[in-house]
Amino acid sequence: MKYSVLVFVFFFCSFSYAQDIELQVFATGFTNPINIKNAGDDRLFVVEQSGLIQIINSDGSRNNAPFLNINPIVINGGGERGLLGLAFHPNYSSNGYFYVNYINNSGNTVISRFSRSATDPNLADNTTELQLLTYDQPFSNHNGGDMAFGPDGYLYISSGDGGSGGDPGDRAQSLTTLLGKMLRIDVDGTSNGNYGIPADNPFVGNSAALDEIWAYGLRNPWKFSFDRTTNDLWIADVGQNIREEINMVASTVAGANYGWRCYEGNSVFNQNGLCPAMNTMTFPVAQYTHNNDGLAKCSITGGYRYRGTAQPNLVGLYFFADYCSDEIGILEQSGNNWNMTFTAPFTGNGWTTFGEDINGEIYITGLGSDTVYKIVQANLSVDENNMFNLKLFPNPTKNQITIDASNSSIAIQSVTIFDVQGKLISSNSNFDTPLINISTKNFTSGLYFVQITNVEGYSTIKKLIKD
């Protein structure tokens, strides 16, 4: 059964309300889900870190048997290793080819092709593995691991800098290693063994660089995507100690240098080593910090720009998330700039991936949850004061607010207050009376949002002004 968790996202222009979203449970029963892809039909394929791929049907039901199970050849240690990426050939409906990115039992990256079963479209043939590309990982973290076919039909692969901290080998800036890069290969060619090199890859013919490299200067590009309308390439690159970054360029931009380890986000990190001139770098379109942008954050999970038709209020918004804060972030374009906002946290999910279905609808899941959610625009009553039959007064307030839930048929579980930047200001729970008093004496003057959650898990947001 599908149900909704109401959490509201706020965009501000002179502190005015403009947008809200809702998460709708779509499917459950997954273990450590870290990737969601579609195969050009109405199914979703959920990658589980241990080496399994599960199928979700269009009605949200999950098949009993996994589509693929390669657990014996995938390292099982959690962290940033395991089965990481999945991509379906643009002609999958006719050739049945799909590609996976996993860390093998030796701790190294393998890019392989598999084929679906000749007799059952809901099963893969585990015996058909063809390894295209392998490369060593010097440490267990920063493996990147995402894959997608670009609008040009080539396979793009995100590769982390090889791990440890601070890129000690300066690998992201080196063109002699595949680490810290965006790779681009021709899966239908054979010029380089089991794959080909696109002729317009930027370093083809350069003896001091590897032909597979499309872009470089990345730390841990955990997730990336192509905008299905503009073809732009979006890369969310996980930061080191302070900054998480979001990069966006046209899909035709070859040889971009995203700056790591010379820069973390748009700030200097380590200028020793291979650091070309600053004006040759491609800097992020947006970034956020771990401790100065609302709740404490640690690791960005990139997503998609919404291009579906079912949620017209969301068109053009880019969705991302933070693994530690459990917030969903949104970028909204304003001229040449991108405005960033965050939802309230969805505690306990540990967001790891977004997915896009054949119609452009967006989904999200995480390591802390067995659930795949669908992102939808909230369907709210025009009259906020009638929601939950609650009264909030006085508003504006000075020293205290009162929430009167005596006319509500469902008890209130918690009341959480956020400022306009999404920072948690106050959290209260476990009330023994329907008349709830909360002190606002120490609040600074301005606009706040009060999230009221009932014992069934549903929430509503009310605006509050502190004089």
Residue 385 — pLDDT band, cuts 50, 70, 90? very low
Q: With beta carbons less than 8 A apart as the criterion, state whether 297 and 303 touch.
A: no
Residue 465: its pLDDT value, please? 87
Regarding whether 260 and 138 lie in a shared domain, the answer is: yes
CATH number assigned to the domain comprising residue 446: 2.60.40.1930
Regarding whether 77 and 18 lie in a shared domain, the answer is: yes
- For 236-254, what is each residue's pLDDT tens digit? 999 998 999 999 999 999 9
Domain count, the chain: 2
Residue 436: its pLDDT value, please? 93
Regarding whether 369 and 395 lie in a shared domain, the answer is: no
Regarding whether 166 and 133 lie in a shared domain, the answer is: yes
Q: With beta carbons less than 8 A apart as the criterion, state whether 111 and 131 touch.
A: yes
Regarding whether 312 and 216 lie in a shared domain, the answer is: yes
Residue 293: its pLDDT value, please? 86
Regarding whether 456 and 316 lie in a shared domain, the answer is: no
- For 400-435, what is each residue's pLDDT tens digit? 999 988 887 778 888 989 876 667 899 998 888 889
Q: How far is CA 290 from CA 238, 239, 324, 325, in A?
A: 11, 9, 10, 9
Of the candidates 68, 360, 53, which has an alpha carbon nearest to the alpha carbon of residue 229? 360
pLDDT at 36 over 50: yes
Regarding whether 292 and 401 lie in a shared domain, the answer is: no
State which residues form the domain around 279.
4-377
- For 135-171, what is each residue's pLDDT tens digit? 999 999 999 999 999 999 999 999 999 999 999 999 9
- For 51-107, what is each residue's pLDDT tens digit? 999 999 999 999 999 999 999 999 988 899 999 999 999 999 999 999 999 999 999
Residue 31: its pLDDT value, please? 97
CATH number assigned to the domain comprising residue 351: 2.120.10.30
Regarding whether 165 and 123 lie in a shared domain, the answer is: yes
Give every CB contact of residue 196 below 8 A, 6+ residues apart in sequence.
Answer: 185, 186, 187, 188, 189, 190
Q: Which helix (H) or strand (E) holds 53?
A: strand 52-56
Regarding whether 410 and 327 lie in a shared domain, the answer is: no
Give the global pTM.
0.81
β-bridge partners, 104: 74
Regarding whether 462 and 337 lie in a shared domain, the answer is: no
Residue 452 — pLDDT band, cuts 50, 70, 90? confident
